[in-house]
């Protein structure tokens, strides 16, 4: 799902099926989901008939494996209750995937702990101080500076206010298309 126009990509939500005795599993179990943008809008369809991912409709487009943890498989669509900003279970450090060009640097940040929601990013090269990056979309952050050939450090701030710095996470010979693992919250 794409939530809050992408600003909550990577955030974790606890979801449970509610108010449907035929389709919700007994005991109202819940599942933890990570927000993504894998459900693009289809404005050719109305929000009530097939345009499930159209803004501003709130919904969760779930994998079958997650869906059957809370409801009967044949239900397909059920009413849910959700809680945001729940703890994400992550293995390893945050991941920084590099893209862009010499004058447009972009990094996708994934595998973020805490509640998974990133609200601020700074980058530091060997020839610069800490520079704030701007959100491009989702958890893609960019800066209009040439950082090619410099080892890179990242400072990530979560919605909880906590900040963690991953120093020299990318070596001086990093290339666009590579992904590096840093510290975790």
CB 124 within 8 Å of CB 80:
no
Q: Is the pLDDT of residue 1 over 50?
A: no
What pLDDT is attached to residue 17?
Answer: 96
Say yes or no: 105 and 173 in one domain. yes
In this structure, the strands spanning 95-101 and 179-181 are antiparallel
Give the torsion sign (CA, 172, 173, 176, 179): negative
What pLDDT is attached to residue 41?
Answer: 74
Q: Which of 57, 86, 115 is the last residue of a domain?
A: 86
Say yes or no: 81 and 100 in one domain. no
The whole-number average pLDDT for the span 144-171 is 96
Say yes or no: 17 and 53 in one domain. yes
Say yes or no: 74 and 122 in one domain. no
Say yes or no: 145 and 108 in one domain. yes
Which DSSP string do the residues of 110-141 spell out, in sequence order?
A: ES--TTS-EEEEEEE-TTS--EE-EEEETTEE
**Domain extent at residue 117:** 95-181
Say yes or no: 71 and 123 in one domain. no
Say yes or no: 81 and 12 in one domain. yes
| Tally of domains within the chain | 2
Query: What is the CB neighbour count within 10 angstroms for residue 74?
Result: 7
For residue range 41-89, what is the model confidence (pLDDT) as tens digits? 778 887 766 676 777 777 788 889 999 999 999 998 899 999 988 999 8
Q: Which of 29, 44, 37, 151 is nearest to 81 (CA)?
A: 29
Q: Is the pLDDT of residue 101 over 90?
A: yes
What pLDDT is attached to residue 10?
Answer: 87
Gyration radius (Cα) of the chain, Å:
19
For residue range 165-175, what is the model confidence (pLDDT) as tens digits? 999 999 999 99
């Amino acid at each position: 799902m794409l939530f809050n126009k992408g600003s909550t990509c990577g955030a974790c939500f606890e979801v449970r099926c509610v108010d449907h005795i035929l389709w919700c599993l007994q005991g109202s179990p819940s599942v933890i989901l990570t927000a993504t943008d894998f459900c693009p809008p289809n404005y050719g369809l109305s929000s009530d008939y097939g345009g499930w991912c159209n803004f501003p409709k709130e919904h969760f487009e779930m994998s079958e494996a997650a869906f059957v943890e809370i409801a009967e498989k044949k239900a397909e669509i059920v009413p849910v209750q959700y809680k945001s900003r729940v703890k994400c279970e992550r293995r390893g450090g945050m991941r920084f995937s590099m893209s862009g060009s010499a004058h447009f640097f972009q990094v996708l940040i994934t595998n973020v702990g805490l509640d998974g929601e990133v609200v601020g990013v700074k980058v530091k090269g060997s020839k610069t101080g800490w520079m704030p990056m701007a959100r491009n979309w989702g958890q893609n952050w960019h800066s209009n500076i040439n950082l090619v050939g410099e080892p890179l450090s990242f400072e990530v701030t979560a919605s909880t206010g906590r900040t963690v710095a991953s120093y020299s996470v990318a070596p001086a010979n990093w290339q666009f298309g590579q992904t590096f693992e840093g510290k975790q919250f």
